[in-house]
Structures are given as structure tokens and as C-alpha cells.
Chains A and B, each alone.
Chain A
Amino acid sequence: MNLRDGRRTIATALMGPWRTAPIIISLVAIAIFFNTQSSLFLSSRNLTNLANQIAVLATVALALVGLLVVRQIDLSLAALAAVCGGIAAKLSVESNLNVGLAIVVALAAGAAVGVVQAVVVNVFRAPAFVVTLGGMFVLNAVLLWLLPATSVIPLADTPLEKIANTFVPAWLSYVLLLAVVLLFAGMRFAHHRARLGEGMPSNLVRSTVIPAAALAAVGLVPLIFVFNAYRGVPTPVVIVLALMAGIAYVTSQTPLGRQIYAIGGNPEGARRAGISVPLVTTVVFATGGFLAATAGIMAASRELGVSSANSDLTLLLEALAAVVIGGVSLFGGRGTVWAALLGSLVIGSISNGLYLLNASTQMRWTIEGLVLVAAVAIDSTISRKSGAQRDS
């Protein structure tokens, strides 16, 4: 194997199964750097705090992954999050509605807005960029109508506050992890048995035992050294991880997931294969709206109040940066749930670390911007070297 082939092989591996390796290495580097600057950075308290902060960002990023994969975008996600947070707060605090019901209404409203925007995009074949830009303006207006400029709904000592400020006790976190690992092992085992049933080779240890053990290890480290060394796992972190696991299952294991990626890869090919492109994109938009509402409710709970200032364009832009850092293609067809998680961790750690160092806002934005540009440059280089990018 000559040098050029070697480089190509490495690039191909980085495009495929090792896609996340550079991001994880960057995360470790970021953690080491900040910890040498401030020993507080890796403290269980700060990392718990960081995880709680990232939950909102990661949820919006998760919504963007699905949309970008099907060649769409939703610029109204942050505004929608604020509106849905406002709806939940207003219903539960001002109208004294049961908090569970208020949350359900807010989540449904988020999904409904997603559906409406998807219908406009599909019926008029209008670019989602513009449709959702308009949606953002309208939603900001709705927010002002819901919460006039000076009004604030305080959430301290309300049931809504408890979402962000409740910690899962240590024993329960281990039980949950065990359940997840067992479920995962069961799925791997079913796959292993099915392969044997088709007369194909499969190794029990390599197909089931090692992946399940790896998942257990990946789960145990943060549980023992971060969350349970402080106050336990914050509820938003559990919510985000559950959403990610569910969406990861749908995208990687079901026909719907195949259809989503097929539309991103070749919309006309997907259509000829009998896939209803408008229906699938509508499902993705609705899920995006639902996730935005989830993010909005978690944000309201963490910030102990909602006001019209909650519509935060920075949240949308940081989420966009996070998914690009995570390796999601802006041209569709490529990107995973884990991109949202890892990208949010990168953006969140840098932001949190610079806060600890008392860096100025201009310093933070400069560094976040440069990291984003560097990530895109590296990503484009890897894509090119692997030969995966075809001229189109």
C-alpha cells in the first residue's frame, strides 16, 4: 500500500465508522486545555451544570439533524421553542392548568407548527429556508402577543421549575443504565440470531457482548465520576438522551429511517422507489417542532421564567454550528443523532470553559466561530480525500 492509498484509506475510515473520532479527540483536548487553565472545569459540579446547559442546545441540534438530512431546514426552531415554553408557562401558571396537560399542549403546538411549515414547503415547493424565516418572524410576533414586552412569568416554585432542577437519584440512574444496556444487548442478540438463521457467520462475543459492554462502560463513566459524584443526573439530560436513543433507533433500524436518508441522498430516486417524499419530510418537520417545544420547556424551566426575550437567535445558530461540527452535511443525506450530541458538547464545553476563565463575549464568539470554520474545513477535506463526494 503506497502513501496515497494509505491516506485515502484513512479518509474513508473517517467518513465511515470513525467519523466521530476527530470530534472525540477534540473534546478530550478541549477538556484538558480548560482543566489546565481552571481546575473547576472537570469538577463534577461544573460538568453537571454543563450537561444541563447543553440539553437545550442538543435538542434543537437534534431537530436540525433530521431536517438537514432530508435537505430541509427550519430557521424558526428557536422562536418556536420560546413560544412553546411560553405556552407551557402561561397555561400552567396563569391558567392553572395541570402541568402535564400544559406540557402536552405545548408539545402538540410545536409539532403542529412543524406540520404547517412542511405543508407550505411541500404544496408550493417553496424553499424551507425562506418559509421558516417567515415562520420565525411570525412566531416572534406570537411570542410578543403571548408575553408582552415587559411581562415575565416567573416559574420559581412551580411544577414546571422542577424539570430542570430535579436530579435522578444514583440508584435509579444505575437501574436505568442497566435497562438500556439490556435492551441494547437484546437487540444485538436478535440480530446475531437472525444472521445465523440466514446461514451467515456471526460471533456472539463480537456481535453482542463487546458492544453491550462498551455501552455500559460509556454510560458508567459519566454516571460515577460526574453526575453521581455531584447530585445525580439532571432530568433534562435524561430527556435528551431518551429522545436521542429513540430517534437513533428509528433512523438506523426502521424503514422510515432508510426513507429519510434516501430522500437526502437522491430525492428523485426515493420517489421512484415508491417513497412519499412530502409525507416523510412532513414527519421530519413535525418531529423538529416537537423537539423545539421540548427544548423551549426545558429552557423555561432552567431559567426559572419566560419572557419575550426568550426567542434567542443565538440558540439556533449555535445548534447549526453544533451539527456541522458533528459532521452533518448541509446538502443532505449525511448526519446522525450523535452528531447533534457531540457537536453540542464541543460548542457547550468551549462556551462553558471560556466563562470559567472570565473571557469576554467577543473572545467567546471569536473562538466559537473559528472552531466552526475549522470543523467545516476539516470535514470538507476528509470528504474530498475519501472520494465520497461525487460531482453533481
Chain B
Amino acid sequence: MNASLLEVRDVAKSYGAVTALKRASFSVRSGEVVALAGDNGAGKSTLIKILSGSISADSGEVRFAGEPVSIGSPNDAARLGIQTVYQDLALCDNLDVVDNIFLGREPRGPWWRGFRVRRPRMERLTADALASVGIRIQRVDVPMGHLSGGQRQCVAVCRAILGDPKVVILDEPTAALGVAQRREVLDLIVRLRDQGRGVILISHDLVDILKVADRIVVLRLGETVADKPGAEWTEHTLVSAITGATAGEQR
């Protein structure tokens, strides 16, 4: 499994006079956690939005399983097997865990059964999905608003993997989490990788990145400035690459 699953080559994007991405390139393989690191304004969010289909790139190429693809909408991304867990999670606090996971794609009965939602099936599939990634939530019929931050993150991830995507993009999954919850989410990321998925992790937290990433890609001012296996990085070299303090890192 050495071929790249998702590959980005020289992607650029400008908003009017502001250049968000100049020449960004990176790739992710199956069963690999790739971390995108970079300061604010480095272009991480723009890159993620392009991959999830929220916006389209001005130039450059995106390949999925070797084939050039165009991701024009979130549905295109989902069809390819790319799912994104946004930083704000996009959960509904007033719905329970099961309804959140199936929101917008509830299995339902035929018209002569009144389009009734197949709740028992949803509950079992939810339990299976949670178990497959080792998440323990006591009850799946409590409103989302009653769960902790870590549990909410896990439910959002669970929703993303329901369609069995090949690539999961996690945007700042550990921001605003406590120590125990953070470990819970990092374990989850490792399990997604062990299931053979490609994981793209965006994070400000260098400790987290160094802990779970197989490869770390550093973006600076819209350009890829470094791309090395996780073991070759230290916190110090990572900070230098992100801030550009040691110019010549790549030269």
C-alpha cells in the first residue's frame, strides 16, 4: 500500500488580492496519519475546504487513487470517500446521538409505512460504529448537549466514518479538550488509521501532532515548506519550520 490515496499537487487559491494558497502539495496513503501544520494564515483551512468540496481551487491538481478528480461540492467529496469533521462539529445539541449520526440520511420505511424512520436499525448501526472505533458512550438516546467535549468529538468522527470513507479529515479535533478527552480523541485517530483509512489531521497542537502523525507536512504562507516522516521531527524543528525561523530548512 505505497500508492497515494489522495494527492494534492501545486494547488493555488486566491480571494481577490489575497493569496491563501500559492503552491501547496501533499499526499496521504491508506493507513497513514498525515498532519498539516502551520501558523494562522498558512492556508490549512483553505486546503481543507478545497478537499471537502466547500470551495474550488484556482489551479493545481487533486488526484484520488491515482485519478485526477474535481471536487465541486461536499457531496462529490462524500462520493469519493472523503469525509470531513469540522472544528465546530456541526452537531445538533437538541437531537440525540443516533439522530445526529444519521442526520440527513436516515433509513426510512416505504410510503405505505408512513416513511417511518427505522430507529432500531439506526440504534444498532450506531452501536456498531461506536464499537468499531472503541468509543464508549453509555446511552445513545441522550441529547447531544448533555455529552462532554470529547464525546461530542467522537460522535462527530463516528458520523464521518458511517459511510466507510477512505479518507477522514479532522479539523482541530483536540482544540478545547481536557487532558483525558484529548487522549481519547488521539486514540481514536490511531484506530481510524489501523482500520486502513487515510487520516488528515489539522492541528495547532504540536505535541498532539508529534504523538500520532506518521508524516508531518508544514505549510507556510500558502506553500508546502516541509514534508517528512513524523519520527524525524522534534518540537523544536517543527516550530522552526512553521515560523520560518531557520531559513534554509528545505534548501
Q: Looking at the assembled complex, report how far the CB atom of B128 sits from the nearest CB atom of chain A, in whole angstroms.
A: 10
Residue of A nearest to B127 (CB): A200
- For A184-197 the 0/1 string (1 means CB < 8 A from B) is 00010011001101
Contact A274-B104, Cβ < 8 Å, known A194-B118, A254-B114:
yes
| B-contact 0/1 string along A51-91, CB 8 Å cutoff | 00000000000000000000000000000000000000000
CB neighbors of B among A287-303 (8 A): none
Q: How many A-B residue pairs have CB under 8 A?
A: 95
Q: Are B123's CB and A272's CB within 8 A? A: no
- B93 cross-chain contacts in A, Cβ below 8 A: 265-266, 333, 388, 390
A169 contact set on B, CB distance < 8 A = none
Looking at the assembled complex, report how far the CB atom of B93 sits from the nearest CB atom of chain A, in whole angstroms. 6
A365 contacts the other chain (CB 8 A): no
Assess whether B92 is in contact with A333, with CB atoms less than 8 Å apart. Answer: yes
Decide: A254 and B115 in contact? CB cutoff 8 A: yes
Interface flags for A259-273 (1: CB within 8 Å of B; 0: not) read 101101110111011
Cα–Cα distance between A302 and B199 once the two chains are bound (Å): 65
Check A265 against B108 for contact (C-beta < 8 Å).
Answer: no
* Cα distance A388–B121 in the bound complex, in angstroms: 27
**Which listed residue (A190, A200, A264, A266) contacts B123, Cβ 8 A?**
A200
Selected from A254, A264, A272, the residue in CB contact (under 8 A) with B116 is A254
For B103, list chain A residues within 8 Å (CB): 258, 262, 269-270, 273, 275
Q: Which of B74, B75, B113, B117 has the most CB of A within 10 A?
A: B117
Q: Which residues of B contact A275 (CB under 8 A)?
A: 103-104
- Interface of chain A: mostly helix, strand, loop or mixed: helix
Q: Does A18 interact with chain B (Cβ within 8 Å)?
A: no
| Other A-B pairs beyond A255-B106, A265-B95, A275-B103, 19, CB < 8 Å | A16-B143, A187-B116, A191-B120, A194-B121, A198-B123, A200-B120, A200-B124, A258-B106, A262-B99, A262-B103, A262-B104, A266-B91, A269-B92, A269-B103, A272-B90, A274-B105, A387-B146, A388-B145, A390-B93
Interface residues of B (CB under 8 A from A): 74-75, 86, 88-95, 99, 103-106, 108, 113-121, 123-124, 143, 145-146
* Interface residues, chain A, with chain B CB atoms under 8 Å away: 12, 16, 187, 190-191, 194-195, 197-200, 249, 253-256, 258-259, 261-262, 264-266, 268-270, 272-275, 333-334, 387-390
